[in-house]
């Protein structure tokens, strides 16, 4: 390979920029040309591709989001869209790809590379931390820190007014952010998609706290909790249990932004570095991941099929004991 291209796709996540920087600088160090594709698969189809050098990734290590922009692109799912993308890559003399994104991005890489002869490596970037093949995905640590910071602030007002807050955090299918932020922020209860907590049980927990003179409370509700989000949970609790002044805060998209944490900067750098080294070593159709403290490669089909992501038993157990 002589020239590689890097792109970000799907949901943005803090840590993508450190990864882009690592891909560009590692590629150049090993004598490759490096291009950046803007707006993910959309940019591939529209030939929105720019050559990059060491300088084009200066001063981005600390930036949230992605300097290459990201997009969701339906056209890439069609054979015509893929053909256009491939033609543009050839026009730009690109002969290998590093794609940073989530499940959808990996699916795109898998389909594209089974149709066309082009080596691809996927880097897991999503705040949800719900991909197979890596213990941590880019952006998860920063997002969790953002949530903890918000919980700390909410606790100040909760405590001053004897309020009960229901704080909704991101996680449609995975409660990873909710669980960790709940533990680190000392939440009274955590509602997760992975665990069926009934409103009745939640009220029992809150009432037990009130009986022990807890003067305020914070309940973390993951977006994907089966009771239907923080507003619904708050409403149903309030119908029965009206001890506190009840408030709801939806943290929403602020969880996606912000300067990447040291963990995400280092993880992004490691994964970008490893992705380029893998391409140079002739690897193809793999994802990069962190297992324990080691960078590993996983076959992309295995990564897509392996939905065995699971919250840690000790964290689950501890979260109720320590609350
Ligand atoms: P994420 O990568 O965060 O999971 P999406 O699910 O939106 O985000 O996927 C990102 C992009 O990947 C999509 O907009 C689309 O262009 C591409 N993609 C997703 N699924 C497929 C598919 N089945 N075939 C081809 N491309 C796909």
Q: How many CB atoms lie within 10 A of CB 116?
A: 14
Residue 320 reports pLDDT greater than 90: no
Q: Name the closest-CA residue to atom 20, ligand 1.
A: 104
> Looking at the predicted complex, does its ipTM rise above 0.95?
yes
Residue 307 reports pLDDT greater than 80: no
How far, in whole angstroms, is CA 134 from its chain's centroid? 12
Model confidence over 57-73: pLDDT tens digits?
999 999 999 999 999 99
Q: Which residues line ligand 1 (CB under 6 A)?
A: 9-11, 41, 72-73, 76-77, 101-105, 107-108, 111, 126
Residue 308 reports pLDDT greater than 70: no
Buried b or exposed e, range 191-228, using 16+ CB within 10 angstroms: bbbbbebebeebbebbeebbeeebebbbbbbbbbbebe
The answer to whether 259 touches 145, Cβ cutoff 8 Å, is no
Model confidence over 33-66: pLDDT tens digits?
999 999 999 999 999 999 999 999 999 999 999 9
Average pLDDT score over residue span 298-311: 88
Percent of the chain with pLDDT strictly greater than 90: 90
pLDDT on residue 76: 98
Average pLDDT score over residue span 72-79: 97
Ligand 1 centroid–CA 269 distance in Å is: 23
Helix (H, G, I), strand (E, B) or coil at 119: coil
Exactly one of 12, 95, 128, 130 is catalytic; name it: 128
Was 265 annotated as part of a binding site?
Answer: no
Ligand 1 centroid–CA 134 distance in Å is: 19
95 carries an active-site annotation: no
Cα first-last separation, the chain: 54
Q: How many CB atoms lie within 10 A of CB 117?
A: 9
Was 39 annotated as part of a binding site?
Answer: no
Average pLDDT of the chain?
A: 96
The answer to whether 96 touches 120, Cβ cutoff 8 Å, is yes
| Band of residue 264 on the pLDDT scale cut at 50, 70, 90 | very high
pLDDT on residue 86: 98
Residue 172 reports pLDDT greater than 90: no
pLDDT on residue 310: 78
Q: Which of 8, 9, 74 to mutate to test the pocket of ligand 1 (most atoms within 8 A of CB)?
A: 9
Average pLDDT score over residue span 219-235: 95
pLDDT on residue 311: 87
Average pLDDT score over residue span 257-278: 98
What is d(CA 244, CA 206) in angstroms, rounded to the nearest whole number? 10
How far, in whole angstroms, is CA 133 from its chain's centroid? 14
Of 214 and 68, the structure prediction assigns the larger pLDDT to: 68
pLDDT on residue 107: 98
Ligand 1 centroid–CA 101 distance in Å is: 9
The answer to whether 117 touches 89, Cβ cutoff 8 Å, is no
Q: Name the closest-CA residue to atom 16, ligand 1.
A: 73
Residue-by-residue DSSP string for 54-116: GGGGTT-TT--S-TT-----SGGGSHHHHHHHHHHHHHTT--EEEEEE-HHHHHHHHHHHHHS
Was 73 annotated as part of a binding site?
Answer: yes
**pTM tops 0.90, yes or no:** yes
For residue 50, report the phi and psi dihedrals to the nearest 5 degrees. Answer: -125, 140
Model confidence over 92-134: pLDDT tens digits?
999 999 999 999 999 999 999 999 999 999 999 999 998 999 9
The answer to whether 117 touches 97, Cβ cutoff 8 Å, is no
pLDDT on residue 323: 83
pLDDT on residue 118: 97
């Amino acid at each position: 390979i002589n020239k590689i291209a890097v792109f970000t796709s799907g949901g943005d996540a803090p840590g993508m920029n450190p990864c882009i920087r690592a891909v560009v600088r590692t590629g150049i160090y090993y004598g490759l040309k490096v291009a950046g594709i803007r707006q993910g698969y959309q940019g591939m189809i529209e030939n929105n591709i720019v050559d990059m050098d060491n300088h084009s990734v200066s001063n981005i290590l600390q930036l949230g989001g992605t300097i290459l922009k990201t997009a969701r692109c339906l056209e890439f799912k069609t054979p015509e869209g893929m053909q256009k993308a491939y033609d543009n890559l050839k026009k730009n003399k690109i002969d290998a790809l590093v794609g940073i994104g989530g499940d959808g991005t990996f699916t795109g890489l898998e389909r594209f590379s089974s149709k066309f002869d082009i080596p691809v490596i996927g880097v897991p970037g999503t705040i949800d931390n719900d991909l197979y093949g890596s213990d941590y995905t880019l952006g998860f640590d920063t997002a969790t820190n953002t949530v903890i910071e918000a919980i700390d602030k909410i606790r100040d007002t909760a405590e001053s007014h004897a309020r009960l807050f229901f704080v909704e955090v991101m996680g449609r299918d995975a409660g990873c952010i909710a669980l960790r932020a709940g533990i680190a922020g000392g939440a009274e209860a955590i509602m997760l998609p992975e665990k069926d907590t009934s409103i009745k049980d939640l009220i029992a927990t809150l009432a037990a706290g009130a009986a022990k003179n807890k003067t305020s409370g914070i309940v973390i509700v993951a977006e994907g909790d089966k009771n239907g989000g923080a507003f619904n949970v708050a409403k149903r609790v309030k119908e029965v249990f009206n001890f506190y002044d009840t408030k709801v805060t939806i943290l929403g998209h602020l969880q996606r932004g912000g300067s990447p944490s040291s963990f995400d900067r280092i993880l992004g750098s490691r994964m970008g570095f490893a992705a380029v080294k893998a391409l140079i070593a002739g690897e193809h159709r793999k994802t990069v991941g962190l297992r324990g403290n080691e960078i590993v490669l996983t076959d992309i089909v295995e990564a897509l099929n392996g939905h065995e992501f699971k919250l840690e038993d000790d964290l689950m157990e501890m979260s109720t004991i320590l609350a």
